[in-house]
Amino acid sequence: MFCEKDVNRVLDANRNRCIEGLRVVEDYLRFVKNDSYNSSKIRDIRHKVSLILNFKIIQSRNTESDIGKYYLHSLYVDEDQILKANLSRVKESLRVLEEFSRFIDTSISQHLMKIRFKFYDIEKDLLSKNFEKIYILADLSLAKDESDLFDGLNILVNNEINLIQLRAKKFSTRKIYEIGIKIAEFFPQAKLIINDKVEVAIALKSYGVHVGEDELPFGVVRRLMGRSVVGATVHNIDDLKASQIANVDYIGVGAIYPSSTKPECKLNGLEFLKKIRSLTATFIYAIGGINSNNAKAVFDAGADGICVGSGFWHANDRDEEIKKLINI
């Protein structure tokens, strides 16, 4: 049986390891990725762990006899390695804390277990690209003005719709950048995708970029954006082939229905969507004239998600429309 001093040494070491690892992840997300949404989640866990394990265990610390203090670390060659290493460090230390706190108080152990499983979900989100069902096109030509754009975005985030594509075909690169800055400031939880302007996406360190067939080649964009999200428009089979070679993260398939956003765009319809679905496992966002009245048919045809533009911005009641879309 472990003595109390041994248990406290284990708890002290892993408490420190856990909190330090969380702080590294938090600062990586905050300063390297400009991801205030996930950094705030990590900060919340760090505070909870600090509060749970605030009893006196530090007196059992004995760094002189710690045989692990001289372990050597390998050199980082990629900035994402620091994220992966510290996510693992936190996960492992949480499990140790959960197990050894059972000698002290089982309620503490149960609380730590809940935190550990919550952390698993955050780790999954950070290491994989899990796209949301609803993706909103924030096109400045659809909003009445900039104030109306932000009113609409406020409705979206209040309904936990965070994946937003900023598109402004008639505006300068500088103006798009400035609006992107404002969106990041007022809606830090937003996962902002920039339409076409790769340089703006890089400057903003945005969640990603979406490009069409007339922009930079998909493969070039993939290389420039690194691990950030790259989406590509697919209007035909050649576009699909190019997107697969470039290993994009999602494809936008359309136009499914007539749209006021791009009235000149070729109407491909649901049959084309079904065909594309049969040819790829890549995440598909269907786009073009989609609203709460026709979205179910789009999902039934094989879309993983829907990209909604005028269906939201021109709705009589935007809040009601987004709620209907969420419930489909």
CATH 1.20.1260 fits 4-126, yes or no: yes
pLDDT of 67: 54
- pLDDT digit string, tens, across residues 232-256: 999 999 999 999 999 899 999 999 9
pLDDT exceeds cutoff 60 at 111: yes
pLDDT of 127: 81
Q: What's the rounded Cα separation, in Å, for the pair 147 and 150?
A: 5
Tokens matching residue 184 = 């990041």
pLDDT exceeds cutoff 90 at 36: no
| Annotated domain spans of the chain | 4-126, 134-326
Tell me the helix, strand and coil percentages in the chain, rounded to 5: 55, 10, 35
pLDDT of 175: 95
Instruction: Give CATH superfamily name and number for 134-326.
Output: Aldolase class I (3.20.20.70)
pLDDT exceeds cutoff 80 at 274: yes
pLDDT of 80: 76
- pLDDT digit string, tens, across residues 169-203: 889 999 999 999 999 999 988 999 999 999 999 99
pLDDT exceeds cutoff 60 at 58: no
Torsional class of 188: left (φ above 0), alpha (ψ -120 to 50), beta (otherwise): alpha
Q: Which of the 8 DSSP states describes residue 192? A: E
Tokens matching residue 158 = 């209040």
Whether the link from the prior residue into 85 is cis, omega within 30° of 0, is no
- pLDDT digit string, tens, across residues 6-16: 888 899 899 99
- pLDDT digit string, tens, across residues 197-220: 999 999 998 999 999 988 899 999
pLDDT of 192: 95
Closest CA to 45 of 131, 127, 111, 124: 111
pTM over 0.85, yes/no: no
Tokens matching residue 163 = 């994946």
Neighbours of 72 (CB within 10 A): 4
Domains 4-126 and 134-326 share a fold: no
pLDDT exceeds cutoff 60 at 323: yes
Q: Which of the 8 DSSP states describes residue 28? A: I
Let me know the angle formed at the C-alpha of 210 by 249 and 139, rounded to the nearest 5 degrees.
135
Handedness of CA 229, 163, 79, 72 (dihedral sign): negative
Amino acid at 238: D
Residue 247 makes CB contacts below 8 A (sequence gap 6+) with 222
pLDDT of 129: 73
